[in-house]
Structure formats: structure tokens, C-alpha cells
Amino acid sequence: MNQSPQPLAIMVQGTASDVGKSMLVAGLCRIFRQDGLRTAPFKSQNMALNSGITPDGHEMGRAQIFQAEAAGIEPDVRMNPVLLKPTGDRHAQIVLMGKVASHMDAVSYHDFKPRLREQIIGVYRSLAQEYEVLVLEGAGSPAEINLRDRDIVNMGMAEMAACPVILVADIDRGGVFAAIYGTLALLQEHERWRVKGVIINKFRGDVALLTSGLRQIEALTGVPVLGVMPWLDIDLEDEDGVALQRGKYRHTGEREITIAVVQLPHISNFTDFNALAAQPDVRLRYVRHPDELENCDLLILPGSKNTLGDLHWLRECGLAQAVVQLHHAGVPVFGICGGYQMLGETITDDVESHMGRQPGLGFLPVETIFAPQKTTTKVTARSGTALPGWLAGARDIPLSGYEIHMGDTTRHEGCRPALWLEKQGQRMADGAVSEDGLVFGTYLHGLFDSDAFTRAVINGLRQRKQLPPRPASFSWQDHKAQQFDRLADAMRSHIDIDKIYRIMREHKEPA
């Protein structure tokens, strides 16, 4: 174990976005934990709509949350001090140390970044005092030369942390050697010195076919290739919606229950549905067109970072009318967070989209008014005792999850709550269930991480199709642990982990 007051550190950067940095960081966190080292992930700036809540109520990127889980520790907002949540093509909500600080356009934020450097350095050093290994993650590519002068997340962060860098390249998208060579060529000399190794990721085929190319790229760049990772069918979280663009779930085998999730333009926290997709009898698909809803057994409206904008999109593309038709055909509809707000009668937003008062879809007798203060908290809960017949098996089940929302929603008199939350020592109603029992809305993210609740919902859907129930034998937590271990095993088999240890231990900053 490292006895130095300074922890070991390594940074994973990529030749582009979505090359697998987040997954490899999680794998390194798992490996170092398996080797008995207290390890933490760190990403100074994350741009993502998938976020979660720390035990003390701070918001941070989901990628660093699942990396912390891989390391066997609780998430800490210091692992992701800056979170950018896009609200449109050019604007984002700025979350600093887990709390909303501002809304900015891209140019304004670029001008603002230098003011964050000292805070990021302080946060990193604070975290470094508590762990033996830190695994840092970059964002996009360090070769984005237009952003280099104010960089706080790639080479700028590596310099602040005084750590070596491993460069990851995705061979599945093609042009891998050009991506490696071009990235290194665009770095400044003192930045290239910091890159101590390359990992080629997502390879399909016989690695022997790459041998000559590996030798040539090492000779051309002077940087060793530490390994070639094969394409892995690992069921772990994706950082953001890029995964949905390439088709996140490709199920094999017979799946008797089909669940459709509307892929909103500003979809957030689609990780809510990973536990559903992992169920052995569920086919989960993301849909953007009305004709994709055919034969679905449950429709879910997910969270959104622009609720009224996405509601307008639902109407424009015909999905709003398709949801109405599904409901009339007796198909259940769930709404989570922003999706719950859309299912109500009205939404008033003078805070986020500034679109004022707009009609909702009208399935639930509730009204939502956006508030400037964002609710961010972890909660425990129980499902309602008055859930409809098809959800009878889901009644009064203990749950846990988190809330992230800007709106306050009020139920009309007589409307049944979906859940009962325990917050600040008080029992509070959450969500709503329609009178016909087919529409269910809640603010609780992570609802389906509860094995008992999820199996009860699926068995309710099975009952509606006159299928026998399946036992609640699947454990989502055990499944995730197995996936982390599979990832670590694959990385040990295909990457020179001993060399990574040597890189960390032998690294010295220039005098």
C-alpha cells in the first residue's frame, strides 16, 4: 500500500467523446479496490443530464457516482465539483459543488472557467488527503486546441493534479491510429510528455491483426500501447444520451414484457431504467416516433431538463396523441420527475424555460409550478397502499431513491398519492395515481432499483397478459457488482495493469 502523503494518481483522457473513458475509469477503480487501495474517482467538470444525489444532498454526475460504487465508497460531490446540465443547444445550468450556481451560454461559461481553477485545485487536494489512489477522467479530447487556454478538465487538470495521463482511443468508430497520432501531434510538448500510455478500446476481432499497427504507432509517437480492450457486453451505466443515439439495448432471447421509454430531446436520468432493462423477461426500448409504440405493455415518460420544451416536442411529433390512444387502449403509463409533471393538468414555468403556464397531458389531477430553488435530496419511501388492482403486488413496499427537480406539484383533492416519502422525519405524500389506475407519476428517481417493487410491477404487467408471475430472484445490486468484477477481470487480461502501477509510482513532475 502507498504510504506517501501524496496519493498515487492517473488520468484517463480520450481522443474524442464516448471512447469509453468513464467505463475504464470505473474498471481501474474496481481493480485498485480489489488490490486493497482506498480509491476515488475525480472529474473536475462533467457535462451530462444524468445526475444523482450524494448522501448529504448534493448533485453530481452519474458517471462519478457509479465509479465511486466501483471503488466501494459513497459518492462525494468533491469527485465532480462542476456539473454542466444543458437546457438547450447553447445554454446550460451550472452546478457548483452540488448546488445550482447559474445559467450560462457557452461563451459566457468559457470566459468564467478561469475563476474556477483555484476552487477545483482546493477540492482535488482535499479529496487527495483521504485516498491512496485517485483516478481522474477527462472530457472530450485534450486536442480541442480552441479551448486549451482555459482548460480545467483535460491537460489543464492533469497539470493541476501533477499526474500522468493515459490516452484512450475507440477503434470501433474507425481511424484509430489517425486519432491517436493526431491527438498527440496537436498537444504541446509539455502535454505530450505527460502521456505515458495508450489504450485502444472496443476492438472486435483478432488482436493479432493489429500487431504491426501497434508497433508503428509506438514508433511514430514514442508512447507505448498498454493494451487493446475487446468490445465488452457489460451492463453498466452510460454517462449521457450518446448511448441512446446508438441504441443502448439490444436484447437477445425471448422477452415477454415490452416497456417503451420516450426518448425526449432533453431526457435526463435514463439510468432510472437500467434495472428494468436487466430483468430477464423485459425488453426495454427507447422511442421517438408514434409507430414505435406498437405492442408495448408499459409506457414511461422519463425526466427532462426542459419539461415544457419536451412537452411541446411530444405534441409536435405526434407522441402526445399516441400516448392518449395508448391510454384509451388500456396501456399503463408511468411518469418519472419531468414525465410526472407532463402527465398533470398544467405546468407553470417562469424559471427554467420561461414558457409560462402551459397545459399538460391531463392524465393526472395535479398542477406544477416551477420554483427557483432546486430540490435535491435522497429519500426513503413506501409505495402507496391504495395502488390499483394490477399493481396490488407493489403495495406498501419499502423504497429508496432521490429527488432532483425544480417544480412543486400539488394534487387535487381526492387524488391518490403514488408513494409516501420519509423526509426530515416527516411522512409526505409524493406523486399521483389516476382514478382508472392506469397512470402513475412520481418524483422519485431510482424507483426501479428496488427489486421487490420492480418485480411486482412486471408481474402486474404479466398478469394483464395472462402470463404466470416470475419469482423475485433477481438482485440489481448483485448484478451491478458482477458487472464491475467482469470489467476488472477483462481489463486485467487485456491491459498491462502492472505498467499502470509503475507509471503512477515513477511519475515525477519536471523541476
Active site residues: 337, 445
Round to whole Å and give the CA distance between 442 and 455: 18
- For residues 300 and 259, the answer to whether their CB atoms sit within 8 Å is yes
Copy the grid coordinates of residue 71. Answer: 471503488
CB neighbour list of residue 212: distance below 8 Å, 6 or more residues apart: none
Strand 133-137 relative to strand 99-105, pairing? unpaired
- Rounded Cα gap, residues 433 and 439, in angstroms: 6
* CA 226, chain centre distance (Å): 27
- Residues 116-148 as b or e (16 or more Cβ within 10 Å = b): bbeebeebbeebbeebbbbbbbbbbbbbeeebb
Residue among 511, 390, 397 at smallest CA distance from 460:
390
User: Which residue bears the cell 443515439?
Assistant: 245
Quickly list DSSP for 22-52: HHHHHHHHHHHHHTT--EEEE-SEEE-S-EE
Three-class SS of 145-166: CCCHHHCCCCHHHHHHHCCCEE
The letter for the amino acid at 233 is D
- C-alpha 200/C-alpha 212 separation (Å) is 14
Calculate the alpha carbon distances from 52 to 9, 57, 61, 239 in Å: 25, 9, 6, 12
